[in-house]
Amino acid sequence: VCTHTYTLIYEGKSKRVYVKNRDELILEFKDEVTARDGALRSFIRGKGIINARVSAYFFSVLNKKGIDTHFLDYDGARKMAVKKLRMLPLEVIVRNYAYGSQLKRIPLLKPLQELNPPIVEFHYKDDSLHDPLIIVDDIINSGIATHEELNFIIKTSLRINDILREVFSEAKLKLIDFKIEFGRDRDNKLILADEISGDTFRVLDDNGKHLDKEVFRRTGDPKLLIDAYIRLCEKLGIKVDDIDFHG
């Protein structure tokens, strides 16, 4: 998927978005990593390819399991063709164990305390407000989504959680939490979008080590992060030996 013929319509913190045609976009995964609201920022060679590859892997698994995703095609490097959607301004977070912002909000919970059943949490996507938690009635009353759509999103997110947990447990990894996003297609159908990578989920190996962006949030060290991402790929059986990490 060659991007110089495509028009760039958006550049975010971790991806560039290009128009491919009326119905399709190209997502290009960047080598940049940011954390703590942009206070930590680094360039990590190979990170974009790894995250594109991990995302393509999970979207393919989910498609096969009957989840509607935006994923169409992967170029083997840092670009993926996706269905163009109208995104809901929501981050949907699924939690299996208490961690991160949830512990900050409710310090009564113990770190890594099991949440059974898993929790589905919504955040309103607005950087100037720091993506605050939003309750269901606010989502409905503000017209972001209907009651029925939210029920569908909750049901689908829990199904996605089951599928991801199964894949991770086969790789001897524990899924703590993850963030997903949904958008509407032409027929207003809700489709899973954006990415599923070490930037958007937290997983622990059997030594309790993070193989996700938490490594960077804690240390700010890009080298440690790429090592964790390479180990993540090895565990999942995703090949990385063709990637040039030093260039």
Binding residues for ligand ATP (CB under 6 A): 10, 12-15, 17, 25, 70, 82-85, 87, 181, 183, 193-194
Each residue 90-129 as x (binds ligand TYD by CB under 6 A) or -, in order, gives -x-x-----xxxx---------------------------
What are the φ/ψ torsions at residue 140 (nearest 5 degrees)?
-70, -50
Nearer to ligand ATP, 87 or 163 (CB): 87
Nearer to ligand ATP, 82 or 190 (CB): 82
**Least distance from ligand TYD to the Cβ atom of residue 239, Å:** 24
Helix (H, G, I), strand (E, B), or coil: what is residue 137? Answer: helix
- Cα distance between residue 203 and residue 212, in whole Å: 6
Contacts of 98 (CB under 8 A, 6+ apart): 106, 109, 110, 111, 112, 113, 115
E strand or H helix at 79: strand 79-83
**Least distance from ligand TYD to the Cβ atom of residue 186, Å:** 27
Among 200, 211, 222, 228, binds ligand TYD (CB under 6 A): 200
User: Of 1, 55, 42, 56, nearest to 25 (Cα)?
Assistant: 1
Q: Give the dihedral of Cα atoms 148, 149, 155, 158; nearest 10 deg.
A: -150
Nearer to ligand ATP, 90 or 98 (CB): 90
Measured from each CB, the residue nearest to ligand ATP is: 12
Residue appearing with tokens 């512990």:
103
Each residue 148-177 as x (binds ligand TYD by CB under 6 A) or -, in order, gives -----------------------------x
List of residues contacting ligand TYD (CB under 6 A): 91, 93, 99-102, 131, 177-179, 199-202
